[in-house]
């Protein structure tokens, strides 16, 4: 079998690059994925009970980028959805991210007003203060607040999710858990938010529905390069696996999922509830909140974090530390030397914690680089139409 391009990975990164290359360069592209489906971790579909579920946990699309939103809107309509998350804290369910609304749930009215006054005295309204930074405050009341959040919200969840203490993680990870100085009940504040109206799998299928694109699932890269003759490579998988773990395995966290379907609907008040406590899982997801599906039964999914074992579990989250960043750089240097002309992108290949919109934007920008490398001036035209 012969193709111009081999794209490894049919998730959002791979699908975006495949679609752009096929349409913009008018080149044949063969997409392979070792899983038996497209759409990567965003894969969704109906289960045996007829309930539409996100098989790999909640995926809520949100972005501030009009470029990304317009691009994906070519392949889907959107169901309007504003994500809300609650966390079990000291017997109460409080909204996340931690904000003035959360403070009102946990403190008496008098104490809550004092805390909010102190926060506004220390930071401008709307500031997102990382919890580890708030713990360094010179104001005793704010330090006490930070210590409470750290103990009952941040520490337990982070330890379960990442398998280490918050202080041991890269600030790029710990900084994602802020205290909002002001009222806030919605989890995201991005301009564009929603769920693909027919699901992520249908959206990605449309992205890959092009005469120049061939898709093979249940096909690993090793299998593909033994049967597919290609000129150029786009790889979105883990680099340590690509090079046979020659320098050691990169650290990832994995997940397992427990799906339970019960009669009724509205089994929990919001889509996601976090459990930063002794529960073995980190959060539960009731899918109907995301999809808007009306049914006689509802499916709730528990997420159980676990260590990643290469070849046995899926690598979901890079564990970012100074040591793992250095190891990834070593792999990156090696593939640049040994595989000149290949391109690498995506959460696994880049070893970065991307949200979905960031993965798509990274792929769109890489396509521009590819188009320039090909010397194809006409290839920029299709992309320009979604980036003006």
pLDDT value of residue 134? 93
For the chain, give the percent of residues with pLDDT over 90: 82
Residue 10 CA to residue 205 CA, distance in Å, equals 10
Long-range contacts of 374-379 (CB under 8 A, 24+ apart): 374/25, 376/24, 376/25, 378/24, 379/24, 379/25
DSSP states along 58-107: ---EEES-HHHHHHHTTT--EE-----EEEEETTEEEEESB-HHHHHHHS
Residue 182 CA to residue 117 CA, distance in Å, equals 10
Q: How confident is the model at residue 6 (pLDDT cuts 50, 70, 90)?
A: very high
What confidence tens digit (pLDDT) does each residue in 263-289 have?
987 899 999 999 998 888 999 999 999
pLDDT value of residue 381? 38
pLDDT value of residue 380? 41
CB 233 within 8 A of CB 8: yes
| Cα dihedral sign, 307-310-316-322 | positive
What confidence tens digit (pLDDT) does each residue in 45-58 have?
999 999 999 999 99
Average pLDDT over all residues of the chain: 92
Which residues are CB-contacts of 186 (< 8 A; sequence separation ≥ 6)? 82, 83, 84
Residue 45 CA to residue 201 CA, distance in Å, equals 7
Longest dimension (CA), the chain: 72
Whether the pLDDT of residue 382 is over 70: the answer is no
Other CB atoms within a 10 A radius of the CB of residue 98 amount to 27
Which residues are CB-contacts of 322 (< 8 A; sequence separation ≥ 6)? 170
Where do the domains of the chain lie?
2-38+208-245+317-384, 96-180
Q: What is the DSSP letter of 151?
A: I
Whether the pLDDT of residue 41 is over 90: the answer is yes
Whether the pLDDT of residue 174 is over 80: the answer is no
What confidence tens digit (pLDDT) does each residue in 240-267 have?
999 999 999 999 999 999 999 999 878 9
- Give the CATH class of 2-38+208-245+317-384: alpha beta
Which residues are CB-contacts of 229 (< 8 A; sequence separation ≥ 6)? 1, 2, 3
Which residue would you say has higher pLDDT here, 380 or 143?
Answer: 143
Query: Smallest Cα–Cα separation from 18: which of 164, 207, 299?
Result: 207
pLDDT value of residue 153? 86
pLDDT value of residue 387? 34
- Mean pLDDT score, 102-115: 96
- Mean pLDDT score, 73-99: 95
Q: How confident is the model at residue 375 (pLDDT cuts 50, 70, 90)?
A: low
CA 309 to chain centre: 20
Whether the pLDDT of residue 365 is over 90: the answer is yes
Backbone angles phi, psi at 199, to 5 degrees: 105, 160
Residue 172 CA to residue 183 CA, distance in Å, equals 24
What confidence tens digit (pLDDT) does each residue in 179-220 have?
999 999 999 999 999 999 999 999 999 999 999 999 999 999
């Amino acid at each position: 079998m012969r193709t111009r391009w081999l794209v490894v990975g049919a998730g959002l990164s791979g699908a975006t690059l495949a679609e752009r290359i096929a349409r913009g360069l008018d080149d044949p592209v063969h997409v392979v994925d070792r899983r038996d489906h497209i759409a990567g971790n965003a894969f969704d579909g109906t289960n045996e009970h007829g309930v539409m579920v996100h098989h790999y946990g909640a995926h809520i699309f949100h972005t501030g980028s009009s470029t990304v939103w317009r691009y994906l809107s070519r392949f889907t309509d959107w169901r309007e959805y504003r994500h809300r998350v609650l966390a079990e804290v000291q017997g109460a369910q409080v909204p996340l991210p931690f904000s003035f609304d959360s403070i009102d749930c946990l403190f008496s009215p008098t104490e809550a007003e004092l805390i909010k006054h102190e926060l506004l005295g220390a930071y401008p309204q709307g500031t997102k203060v990382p919890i580890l930074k708030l713990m360094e405050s010179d104001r005793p009341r704010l330090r006490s607040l930070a210590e409470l959040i750290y103990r009952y919200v941040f520490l337990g969840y982070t330890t379960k999710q990442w398998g280490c203490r918050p202080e041991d993680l890269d600030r790029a990870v710990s900084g994602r858990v802020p205290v909002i100085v002001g009222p806030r009940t919605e989890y995201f504040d991005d301009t564009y938010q929603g769920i693909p109206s027919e699901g992520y799998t249908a959206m990605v299928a449309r992205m890959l529905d092009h005469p120049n694109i061939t898709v093979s699932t249940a096909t690993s890269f090793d299998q593909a390069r033994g049967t597919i003759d290609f000129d150029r490579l786009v790889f979105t998988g883990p680099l340590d696996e690509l090079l046979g773990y020659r320098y050691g395995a990169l650290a990832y966290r994995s997940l397992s999922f427990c799906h339970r379907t019960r009669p009724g609907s509205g089994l929990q008040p919001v889509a996601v509830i976090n459990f930063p406590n002794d529960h073995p899982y980190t959060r539960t997801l009731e899918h109907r909140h995301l999809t808007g599906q009306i049914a006689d039964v509802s499916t709730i999914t528990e997420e159980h974090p676990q260590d990643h074992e290469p070849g046995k579990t899926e690598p979901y989250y890079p564990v970012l530390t100074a040591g793992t960043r250095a190891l990834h750089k070593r792999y990156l240097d090696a593939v640049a030397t040994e595989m000149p002309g290949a391109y690498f992108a995506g959460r696994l290949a880049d070893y970065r914690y991307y949200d979905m919109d960031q993965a798509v934007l990274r792929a769109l920008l890489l396509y521009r680089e590819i188009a320039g490398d090909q010397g194809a001036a006409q290839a920029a035209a299709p992309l320009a139409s979604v980036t003006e």
